Amino acid sequence: MGKVFLIGAGPGAADLITVRGARLLASADVVLHDALVEPAMLDYAPAHARRIAVGKRCGQLSTAQQFINKQIVDAAREHAVVVRLKGGDPMLFGRADEEMRALEAAGVEYEVVPGITAALAGAASLKRSLTLRGVSRSVALATFSRAPGSEEIRESVNADSIVFYMGRDSGVEIAIQLIEAGRAGSTPVAVVEACSTSRERMLTLTLEGLASGEAQRWVDASQPSLVMIGEAFAARRGEVDGRLDFVAAA
């Protein structure tokens, strides 16, 4: 029985994987990778390594999680080093728990290698700190997507800065719910698309603009995007930047 490494590929750019992740990827016999993993990332794997795409993309035909679990276990029965390469960090919206449970049930040894999650890379691209003295002392990483039958979770409304993953198609509903919960319509919003890659784009607007559907008219449906909400994403006073046009309150 081989060993499985659940490796975080980071937010997109191939050189944002960790040194440990790249080293383990270079020793892989088989790599089961997400759809969001950049093709250049797979170049770290040796030429002989088998590459298997098992990713999920919103609105597209994708591999069922149960089948992914089976593929990982089966690979571990045939190969010494199996890499499950997951976008961002495995432990955040990556369904890693289901894969770990399947490995434990099959008696397969595994290790988790963390990665840079998209919220951190998005903040870096925007040049905006997720936390900001006197403005933002709490951050929520949230998703508007939820499993069928599960209840809606609204606790993220209370965080100063909120980053919504997989919120591309729910921007209007997210904004309306936040405004109804008491957020000002003038609250700054930043949408970061294809974060850290050569295709990266950014849009700045307000919560009111998000509610009007402005972001959904702009976004490229083929690319992953983050919706980042809060006063921490306002432009600094006197800043000249065509993409970031908000001025923080004095």
Q: Of the residues 3, 15, 29, 56, which is catalytic?
A: 56
Q: What share of the chain is helix, strand, coil (3-state, %, to 5)?
A: 30, 20, 45
Burial level of 171, CB count in 10 A (0-12/13-18/19+)?
buried
> Is domain 3-113 annotated with CATH 3.40.1010.10?
yes
Question: Any idea where the domains of the chain sit in the sequence?
Answer: 3-113, 118-233
- Give the pLDDT of residue 155: 54
Low-confidence ranges of the chain (pLDDT < 50): 59-61, 240-250
Phi, psi of 37 (to 5 degrees): -75, 125
- Measured CA to CA, the distance from residue 221 to residue 129 in angstroms comes to 27
**42 by DSSP, 3-state: which?**
helix
Give catalytic status of residue 34 as yes or no: yes
CA 156 → CA 91, 118, 169, 249, distances in Å?
18, 17, 18, 22
- Give the pLDDT of residue 156: 60
Long-range contacts from 89-98, C-beta under 8 angstroms, 24+ separation: 89/8, 89/114, 89/115, 89/116, 89/117, 90/6, 90/7, 90/8, 90/114, 90/115, 92/117, 92/141, 92/165, 93/143, 93/165, 93/166, 94/8, 95/65, 96/6, 98/65, 98/69
- Give the pLDDT of residue 167: 80
- Give the pLDDT of residue 61: 47
- Give the pLDDT of residue 197: 96
- 3-113 and 118-233 in the same fold: no
**32 by DSSP, 3-state: which?**
strand
- Give the pLDDT of residue 154: 59
DSSP string, 55-90: ---TTS----HHHHHHHHHHHHHH-SEEEEEESB-T
What are the pLDDT digits (tens) for 34-79?
Answer: 988 999 999 999 999 999 999 765 544 456 899 999 999 999 999 9
**230 by DSSP, 3-state: which?**
coil
Q: Of the residues 3, 29, 34, 245, which is catalytic?
A: 34
> Is domain 118-233 annotated with CATH 3.30.950.10?
yes
